[in-house]
Amino acid sequence: MNLVKLIVLLALTAALVTGAVAPSLAANDMDNPRLAGEPQQGKKDGQGKGTVQVVKGAVTEKTGTVVKIDGREVGVNDWTKYKVPGVKNATLADVKVGMAVVARTVEEGGKLYARQLGVAPGKPPVTRQQGKITAYSYNPPNGGAITIQDKWGKLTTFQIVADKFTIKPAGAIPKVGDLATVVSNNEVPLVATGLVIRYPPLKVSGAVTAIDESAKTITVGATVLKYDNKTVFVLRGVPGLKVTQQATVLYRQQADGSLLAKRVQVQQ
């Protein structure tokens, strides 16, 4: 009987201890934003306490526990996950003041806590736009402007700053109607820093009259053309280019006046 009484007494004691401790743990959990901040199951975004809210804007201030997004405080903690373009296993240290961010938050005790904080991809510092030149004026000491029209008919004008503008190919003189690619910044006002003229390739056809491997030239008819390691030779089953073969050559004129073969195709 004494053994039975002892077992009953221990059981009652355990029940009393469990009842006293469990409410205390529950209360402590509600005071911990990492636990209380867990999104509630079965509720949609924006409905009631503990649901997900999205906060967007620029980081205006940052501490070890708070990120201000356009002045609005969002708490961060061990549960917060970070996403930064180009950074693997990002942390709060990778989030800088001025960055545009999107935070998925939950509310607890009137405060927002970020479950996920992602940095929005920024604009590339340099952009390239292609089109036909519709207007062009440039005086190196004073600068100028260039306007191009893309294939959809949109006109874009770029400023040209003196001595900060390059033209390729070297020696090319841009003209209205030329197809070109403008290299510029990606903010208003657009300032062109480079211009690449896309000259259409020229063509010559006829018999190969000379091949000079030491000078790296071929002659088609009376036209002498250079070739390099980027020149494409289409031989169509012929073991190699030979004098008297008929060929068509696509080429471009270089700044020094020489002709560079881009593609040599043997005609059968």
pTM (two decimals): 0.44
43: in domain: no
Q: Is residue 27 part of a domain?
A: no
Tally Cβ neighbours within 10 Å of residue 162.
12
CA atoms within 13 A on the CB side of 198: 11
Residues 1, 25: Cα–Cα separation, whole Å: 37
Same domain, 233 and 257: yes
Of 140, 171, 197, which residue sits at a domain end? Answer: 197
Q: Report the percent of the chain where pLDDT is more than 70.
A: 80
**What is the overall mean pLDDT for the chain?**
82
Instruction: Give domain status of residue 185, yes or no.
Output: yes
Question: What does the alpha-carbon distance between residue 23 and residue 232 come to, in Å, rounded to a whole number?
Answer: 80
Which tens digit of pLDDT belongs to each residue from 136-157? 999 888 899 999 999 999 999 9
pLDDT in tens, 202-211: 999 999 999 9
| Residue 219, in any domain of the structure | yes
229-250 pLDDT per residue, tens: 999 999 877 778 889 999 999 9
Q: Are residues 181 and 242 in the same domain?
A: no
**Is residue 38 domain-resident?**
no
Report the DSSP pairing between strands 81-83 and 111-119: parallel
User: Is 9 contained in some domain?
Assistant: no
pLDDT digits (tens, 9 = 90+) for 39-94: 444 333 333 356 889 999 999 999 999 999 998 999 999 989 999 988 889 999 99
Q: Which residues pair with 53 in a beta bridge?
A: 105
* Average pLDDT of the segment spanning 119-134: 85
The residue that leads in pLDDT, 136 or 185, is 136
CA distance 134 to 179: 10
CATH number of the domain enclosing 246: 2.40.50.320
Neighbour-count burial of 176, counting CB atoms closer than 10 A to its CB (0-12 exposed, 13-18 middle, 19+ buried)? exposed
Residue (of 67, 63, 45) closest to 114 by Cα position = 67
Containing structural domain, residue 63: 52-119
Considering the chain, what percentage of its residues have pLDDT values greater than 90? 53
- C-alpha 199/C-alpha 174 separation (Å) is 10
Domain count, the chain: 3
Backbone angles phi, psi at 145, to 5 degrees: -160, 155
Cα–Cα distance for residue pair 66/73, rounded to 1 Å: 6
